[in-house]
Structure 1
């Protein structure tokens, strides 16, 4: 089979479902604004991974050998953006869906995965491990894109809803501040693990 769909889907599910920068941000956004208000952001996060999949599928990673500075710059821009998101998370307070400020929108969601080092690592692994040599580029890329998008449309709202449920329990309590700090810390740790520990979670 040109693409090992079952094996790739299991691999991708294990990555998309586990904690990482994107999921920590989704959890915090759900805690602050609730799933319903966060849905445009969730959709943006899910679709944003397509902005990585298609360029990688059509050979973007081959540029790493010819233009290494481009990828070094992208890596550190990504780190800076995720750290900024972590700082925002640390300052959030739980609104249980009733926060008066506007939730992040679709465009903000689109930027999360392209600036997420773990997403790049996961997708590159997908192409190098689960695609047979000689597979047509369009077929391989479309298969990986569809598998990941399907998983994200299921799992990303679940992370956001989990944040909403946590907020319902902790909003206004002494634990609220510590929860947001913990989410911010997990976001930072997940980026450090992606850079230096070989992690690939979404």
Structure 2
């Protein structure tokens, strides 16, 4: 009765570190306003995911005990969504830059993940694929929450500080397509690991 922490961290890193609504917002904010001005927004984005981790954890983990087939259905639905998202990432065109009067703050950051379907799919996949049946709800939820927050505290500032630099370097060049396809491939690889390796690790 446990959470496959190492496997989940690998999966989580592939999701938190790849392009999505949150990272695109972080990259754009850093590009427009600079790293220091964007820090309140970064903090809000990181903590905002906690607003959905805990309700999902307690609701889904409790529901899984009474309706086990729903747990499996949610898992495959999330896997399908992440594969679809990888295809979108592969065909994404980087368009950094833009202008605004004021940098978004902490409260604006809090709203990013609750409105981000990628975040919902990632969290549900974490609970359905990396948590052993019978694991106490508090233990499972706290582990998922701590793992994701740790990854966000490392990766979100990197996107904010350096993501816009990478975008300016590769946007509109042949390297852009190779970069996006590589990131998409890593996303699909993480899903395949969930299907064929993650369950064995449990």
TM-score > 0.5 by shorter chain: yes
* TM-score when normalising by structure 1: 0.64
Alignment of 1:1-202 (within 5 A): 2-59=2-59, 62=63, 93=98, 101-163=101-163, 165=165
Q: How many residues align?
A: 147
Change (3 A) 1:10 1:134: same
Deviation at 1:90, TM superposition (A): 7.2
Equivalents in 2 of 1:60, 1:108: separation in Å? 27
Contact 1:20–1:118 (CA under 8 A) maintained in structure 2: yes
Change (3 A) 1:166 1:8: closer
- SS in structure 2 of the partner of residue 58 of structure 1: helix
Contact 1:4–1:131 (CA under 8 A) maintained in structure 2: yes
Deviation at 1:162, TM superposition (A): 1.6
Equivalents in 2 of 1:148, 1:163: separation in Å? 19
Gaps of 5+ in 2: 64-69, 71-93, 185-202
* TM-score when normalising by structure 2: 0.64
Find the counterpart in structure 2 of residue 83 from structure 1.
none
Contact 1:3–1:130 (CA under 8 A) maintained in structure 2: yes
Gaps of 5+ in 1: 66-88, 191-202
The 4+ residue runs of structure 1 with deviation greater than 6 A are none
